[in-house]
C-alpha cells in the first residue's frame, strides 16, 4: 500500500469502467454555474457576476457585500477579489463535491496539470498575468478536488475531516480523509509535508476496499451542505418536529430524485446527476431545470409514497390555482431567517470568528438585530432557538408563496453608462472599518455613523450617515488606487441608489422582491399537517378584517431616517388593491357582457319607472284605490300554490341577498372594508352556509314551479298566458304614448301585464344562470372531472356571470319589482297581495280589466 499516494475517486470510480465520471460531473452540483451565462437580471444588476451559480455568481450570501469571483482576465490586482484558487481555499470549497469547476479552469484545463505545463507560462504562487484562475495559485502543490462519490454515497462520511483538509489546502487528500480511508497529516497552506496513514483494518487482505455504500444519498449527506445556509436564508429546521414529511420518514431524494429515479425527461437517465430542483427566485443555476422535482400533487393526488390524498372539500378552485400548497401548509416558521443584511458597518458582536462576516449586520423578520453567526458558533445548527413567526407572502409567477424577502444595504460603485452597481471588495471595507476603530483619525467621517436605536450596533440611516459612509469608502478606494474614472461611490438601500444623503434614484425590481440585490427564498420545508394548516379553522383564517393573509404589515424598508420601519400591507405584494380581479378571455367577455346588460336594463327600468310615476301622478284623482282591498271582499288572483312558491322564492332570495352582501367582500381582496364585511357575524363559513341554504331553497322552488306548470291546470294556464305575445309589444307602445300624453288612457291588460311578464322571465333567466353557475362553484370537482382542460377557464367565467347576475337581480328586484308592486301611485304604501292572493274589484278593474271582463264583471273605468 502506497502511503504517499492519496485515493483518487476519479481513478477508482470512473476509470475502472464502472461509472461515467464525465457525465456525472456535468451535474450542476459539480459545475455550480461554471459555463453558464449570467441571467438577464444579473447582467442588468451585478456586473461582477460571471455565472448564475455559486461559482461566479452570488456566492452563498443572500445580499451584497460578499466575495466575488474575479474575471478570467484582469488588468490590475486592485479590482480582483477571489480567484478560482481562493474560492476553494475559502469556506466555499467545503460545500463543493469536487469535479467540474473544482477540477477544471474556465478554459477547460485541469488546474494542477496546466500550471505545471510550460505552455501555460504560469508558476506556482506567482501573479500569472492576473489570471482569475491562477493568480497566486498553488494548484501544482494542492492538487484538485475530484468529484468525491463517497461524499454522498457513503454513510458515516467524515465531512469535518474533508473540510479540515480543504482548509489546509490539501485538495488531493480531502477525499481520502473524508472516507476515513486514512488519516492525513500536514498542510500545504502552512508548508508542512503531507503524510498519509491508511487504516489497514478497513481493507481486505488483497488490498481491496468494500465500503457500505448506498445508492440514494441519505438526508445527512444533503444537509451537510444545505442545513446551515438554509437557516440563514429560509429559517429551515429540517427536523421531524416541524416537518410532517420528515416525520413520515421521507428522504430528500424522494422529492429531489435524479438519474434513473427521476421522471422528468430533462434529468432522467442512467448516472445523470442533475438533481431535481424546484423554482426558487433566489436560486439561479440551471433555471432550465426548474420544476423537475416532485410537486405536492404528484403524491397527494395519487397517494404516492403513502401520502394522504388531499381533500379540499368546499375550497373554491381559484384558491388551488392561485395559492401554493406551501402558503397554507407553512402558516408559521419556528426558526428565524435573516430578512435584512446590512453590509455597510462593522458588527462588534461576540463569537463571530470570520473577520469578513463582521461586515454583515443581520436583522430578523421581527425587525430586531440578530447575532446569527454568534448563535451558530455558540449553539450549533442543531440547537437553534425556537422563535415562531408568520412568513410573508408574495406573488411569484402567478402563485402566492410564503417567502423570505431579503432587504439589503451596502456601499457600491456606480459607473456612468454601465448597467448595475459594482461592489467593492469585502476586504477593503473591512480594513476601512478596522483601521478607523484602531485610529479614529483615519477615515474620520465614519465617527458620524451612530447607533440610533440602541441595539448595540451602528447603522446607516440618516442623510449625514449616508454621506459619511460614501466619503469614507471613496477615500478607501483611492488609497488602494482603485480605478475610479467615470465612477462614483453610492449607498444602495433596497431599490434606492443614494449618491448623497438626500439624492437617490430607483432601480427596477420584481414585485416579489424587497431589493433587487437581495435574494427571495421560497419556504418549502417544515410543512405543517392539514390539521394545522391555514384554513383548518375555516375561511376566517384569511377572510376577516385583521387576517394576516391580506392585512399583515410587512417591511418595505427596514428603517427610515428616524429608525422607524416603513410598512406596506401584505395584500399589496399579492397584487390585491381592493379591486375585483380583471379577467381576460371567456371570463373577461362574460364580465363585459353582464356589465353592459346591467347598464342597459337598469337604464330602461329607471326610464320606465320615471315616466310611469309621472303619468300616474297625473291620474292622481283616479288613484285612490288601496293596496288590494279587504281579502274577504276581493277576487282571487293567485292560488295557494302560487303564494307558496312566491313565499319560498322570497325566502330563498332574501337568504341569497343577505349572505351575498357579506360574501361580496371576497371580490375585493385587500380592501379593509371587504375583510370586515366577509368576517362579520360568524364570517365566511357562516355566510357560505346561509348562501347555500338560499341556493337550495331556490332550486326547490324552481322544481316546485316546474311541476306546478306541468301538472296543475291553473299552472298550465298561467304559463301559457305568461308567454310573450305581439300584444305585449303593442301594449308597451301604447303605454309609452300614454306616458307622453299621446293617448288619453293606459292600455287595458289581461291577467298579466307586459311588465309582470318581464318580472317572470327575468326570474326564469336569472334562476337558470344562478343555479347553473352556483352549482359549478358549489361542486367544482364535478366540472373538473367532466372537462378538465377547460374547467378552470369555465369556472372563472361562471363566477363572473354569477356575481354580475346577482347584482342585476338584486337591483331589478329592489328598483323594478318593489316599485311596481308596492311603491307606484295607487299601490303605495304597499300591497298585501303576496300574502292573501286577492285583489279588490276596483283595482282589478283598473289594472287587469280584460281579465275581469273574462269573468263577466263590470267594464273598466
Structural domains counted in the chain: 2
Task: Of 239, 212, 208, give the one whose Cα is nearest residue 157.
Answer: 212
pLDDT of residue 4: 67
CA distance 723 to 707: 17
Q: Which residues contact 709 (CB under 8 A, 6 or more apart)?
A: 715, 716, 718, 719
Q: Are 45 and 516 in contact (CB under 8 A)?
A: yes
pLDDT of residue 826: 76
Q: Are 747 and 848 in contact (CB under 8 A)?
A: no
Task: Of 116, 160, 166, 161, give the one whose Cα is nearest residue 145.
Answer: 166
CA distance 637 to 844: 9
Q: Which residue has 300624453 as its cell numbers?
A: 741
Task: Of 833, 771, 815, give the one whose Cα is nearest residue 635.
Answer: 833
pLDDT of residue 621: 54
**Host H or E run for residue 338:** none
Identify the domain containing residue 22 by its residue range.
Answer: 9-148+156-202
Q: Which residues contact 148 (CB under 8 A, 6 or more apart)?
A: 9, 97, 98, 162, 174, 175, 178, 179
pLDDT for 716-772, tens place per residue? Answer: 999 999 999 999 999 999 999 998 988 988 999 999 999 999 989 999 999 999 999
Q: Are 634 and 690 in contact (CB under 8 A)?
A: no
Q: Is residue 73 part of a domain?
A: yes
Q: Is residue 489 part of a domain?
A: no
Q: Is residue 606 part of a domain?
A: no
Q: Is residue 69 part of a domain?
A: yes
Q: Which residues contact 452 (CB under 8 A, 6 or more apart)?
A: 459, 461, 462, 563
Q: Is residue 267 part of a domain?
A: no
Pairing of strands 340-342, 407-415: parallel
pLDDT of residue 538: 86
CA distance 159 to 154: 11
Q: Is residue 742 part of a domain?
A: yes
CATH code at position 667: 1.20.950.20
Partners of 369 in the beta sheet? Answer: 363
Helix (H, G, I), strand (E, B) or coil at 710: helix
pLDDT of residue 634: 80
The number of residues making up the chain comes to: 861
Q: How much helix, strand and coil, in percent to the nearest 5, is found in the chain? A: 45, 10, 45
Q: Is residue 272 part of a domain?
A: no
Q: Which residues contact 437 (CB under 8 A, 6 or more apart)?
A: 346
- What residue ranges of the chain have pLDDT lower than 50? 623, 625-632, 855-861
pLDDT for 827-855, tens place per residue? Answer: 788 888 888 888 888 888 888 888 876 64
> Got the DSSP string for 303-315?
TGGGPPPP--TT-
Q: Is residue 499 part of a domain?
A: no
pLDDT of residue 677: 83
pLDDT of residue 632: 41
Amino acid at each position: 500500500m502506497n502511503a504517499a499516494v492519496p485515493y483518487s475517486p476519479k481513478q477508482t470510480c470512473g476509470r475502472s469502467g464502472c461509472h461515467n465520471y464525465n457525465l456525472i460531473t456535468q451535474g450542476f452540483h459539480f459545475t455550480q454555474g461554471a459555463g453558464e451565462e449570467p441571467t438577464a437580471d444579473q447582467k442588468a444588476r451585478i456586473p461582477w457576476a460571471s455565472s448564475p451559480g455559486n461559482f461566479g455568481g452570488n456566492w452563498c450570501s443572500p445580499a451584497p457585500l460578499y466575495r466575488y469571483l474575479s474575471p478570467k482576465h484582469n488588468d490590475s490586482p486592485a479590482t480582483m477579489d477571489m480567484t478560482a484558487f481562493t474560492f476553494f481555499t475559502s469556506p466555499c470549497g467545503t460545500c463543493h463535491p469536487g469535479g467540474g469547476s473544482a477540477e477544471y479552469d474556465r478554459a477547460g484545463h485541469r488546474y494542477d496539470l496546466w500550471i505545471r505545463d510550460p505552455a501555460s507560462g504560469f508558476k506556482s504562487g506567482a501573479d500569472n498575468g492576473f489570471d482569475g484562475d491562477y493568480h497566486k495559485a498553488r494548484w501544482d502543490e494542492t492538487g484538485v478536488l475530484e468529484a468525491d462519490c463517497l461524499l454522498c454515497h457513503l454513510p458515516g462520511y467524515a465531512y469535518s475531516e474533508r473540510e479540515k483538509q480543504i482548509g489546509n489546502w490539501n485538495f488531493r487528500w480531502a477525499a481520502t480523509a473524508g472516507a476515513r480511508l486514512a488519516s492525513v497529516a500536514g498542510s500545504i497552506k502552512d508548508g508542512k509535508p503531507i503524510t498519509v496513514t491508511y487504516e489497514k483494518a478497513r481493507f481486505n487482505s488483497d488490498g481491496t476496499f468494500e465500503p457500505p455504500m448506498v445508492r440514494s444519498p441519505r438526508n445527512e449527506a444533503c444537509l451537510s451542505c444545505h442545513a446551515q445556509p438554509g437557516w440563514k436564508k429560509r429559517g429551515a429546521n429540517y427536523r421531524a418536529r416541524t416537518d410532517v414529511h420528515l416525520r413520515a420518514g421521507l428522504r430528500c431524494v424522494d422529492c429531489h430524485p435524479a438519474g434513473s429515479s427521476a421522471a422528468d425527461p430533462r434529468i432522467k437517465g442512467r448516472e445523470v446527476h442533475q438533481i431535481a430542483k424546484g423554482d426558487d427566485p433566489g436560486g439561479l443555476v440551471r433555471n432550465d431545470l426548474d420544476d423537475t422535482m416532485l410537486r405536492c400533487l404528484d403524491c397527494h393526488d395519487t397517494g404516492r409514497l403513502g401520502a394522504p390524498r388531499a381533500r379540499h372539500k368546499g375550497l373554491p378552485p381559484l384558491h388551488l390555482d392561485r395559492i401554493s400548497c406551501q402558503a397554507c401548509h407553512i402558516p408559521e416558521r419556528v426558526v428565524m431567517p435573516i430578512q435584512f443584511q446590512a453590509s455597510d458597518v462593522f458588527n462588534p458582536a461576540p463569537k463571530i470568528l470570520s473577520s469578513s462576516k463582521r461586515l454583515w449586520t443581520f436583522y430578523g423578520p421581527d425587525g430586531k438585530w440578530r447575532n446569527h453567526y454568534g448563535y451558530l458558533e455558540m449553539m450549533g445548527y442543531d440547537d437553534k432557538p425556537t422563535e415562531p413567526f408568520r412568513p410573508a407572502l408574495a406573488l411569484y409567477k402567478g402563485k402566492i408563496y410564503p417567502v423570505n424577502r431579503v432587504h439589503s444595504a451596502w456601499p457600491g460603485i456606480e459607473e456612468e453608462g454601465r448597467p448595475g452597481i459594482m461592489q467593492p471588495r469585502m476586504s477593503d471595507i473591512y480594513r476601512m472599518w478596522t483601521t478607523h476603530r484602531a485610529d479614529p483619525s483615519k477615515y474620520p467621517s465614519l465617527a458620524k455613523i451612530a447607533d440610533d436605536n440602541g441595539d448595540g450596533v451602528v447603522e446607516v440611516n440618516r442623510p449625514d450617515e449616508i454621506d459619511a459612509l460614501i466619503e469614507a469608502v471613496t477615500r478607501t478606494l483611492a488609497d488602494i488606487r482603485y480605478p475610479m474614472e467615470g465612477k462614483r461611490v453610492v449607498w444602495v438601500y433596497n431599490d434606492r441608489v443614494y449618491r448623497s444623503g438626500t439624492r437617490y434614484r430607483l432601480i427596477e425590481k420584481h414585485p416579489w422582491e424587497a431589493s433587487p440585490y437581495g435574494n427571495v427564498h421560497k419556504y418549502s420545508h417544515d410543512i405543517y399537517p392539514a390539521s394545522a394548516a391555514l384554513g383548518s379553522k375555516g375561511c376566517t383564517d384569511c377572510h376577516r378584517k385583521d387576517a394576516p393573509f391580506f392585512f399583515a404589515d410587512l417591511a418595505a424598508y427596514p428603517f427610515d431616517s428616524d429608525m422607524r420601519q416603513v410598512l406596506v400591507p401584505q395584500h399589496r405584494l399579492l397584487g390585491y388593491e381592493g379591486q375585483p380581479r380583471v379577467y381576460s378571455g371567456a371570463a373577461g367577455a362574460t364580465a363585459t357582457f353582464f356589465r353592459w346588460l346591467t347598464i342597459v336594463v337598469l337604464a330602461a327600468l329607471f326610464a320606465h319607472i320615471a315616466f310611469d310615476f309621472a303619468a300616474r301622478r297625473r291620474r292622481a284623482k283616479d288613484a285612490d284605490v288601496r293596496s288590494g282591498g279587504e281579502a274577504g271582499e276581493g277576487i282571487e288572483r293567485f292560488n295557494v300554490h302560487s303564494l307558496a312558491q312566491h313565499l319560498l322564492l322570497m325566502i330563498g332570495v332574501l337568504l341569497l341577498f343577505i349572505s351575498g352582501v357579506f360574501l361580496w367582500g371576497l371580490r375585493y381582496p385587500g380592501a379593509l372594508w371587504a375583510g370586515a364585511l366577509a368576517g362579520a357575524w360568524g364570517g365566511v363559513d357562516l355566510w357560505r352556509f346561509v348562501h347555500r341554504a338560499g341556493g337550495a331553497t331556490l332550486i326547490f322552488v324552481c322544481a316546485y314551479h316546474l311541476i306546478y306548470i306541468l301538472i296543475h291546470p291553473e299552472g298550465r294556464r298561467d304559463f301559457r298566458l305568461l308567454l310573450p305575445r305581439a300584444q305585449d309589444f303593442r301594449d308597451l307602445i301604447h303605454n309609452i304614448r300614454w306616458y307622453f300624453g299621446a293617448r288619453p288612457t293606459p292600455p287595458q291588460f289581461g291577467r298579466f301585464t307586459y311588465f309582470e311578464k318581464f318580472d317572470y322571465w327575468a326570474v326564469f333567466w336569472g334562476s337558470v344562470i344562478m343555479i347553473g353557475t352556483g352549482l359549478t362553484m358549489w361542486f367544482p370537482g364535478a366540472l373538473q372531472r367532466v372537462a378538465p382542460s377547460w374547467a378552470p377557464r369555465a369556472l372563472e367565467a361562471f363566477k363572473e356571470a354569477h356575481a354580475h347576475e346577482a347584482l342585476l337581480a338584486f337591483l331589478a328586484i329592489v328598483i323594478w319589482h318593489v316599485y311596481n308592486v308596492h311603491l307606484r301611485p295607487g299601490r303605495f304604501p304597499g300591497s298585501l297581495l303576496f300574502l292573501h292572493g286577492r285583489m279588490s274589484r276596483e283595482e282589478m278593474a283598473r289594472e287587469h280589466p280584460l281579465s275581469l271582463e273574462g269573468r263577466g264583471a263590470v267594464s273598466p273605468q
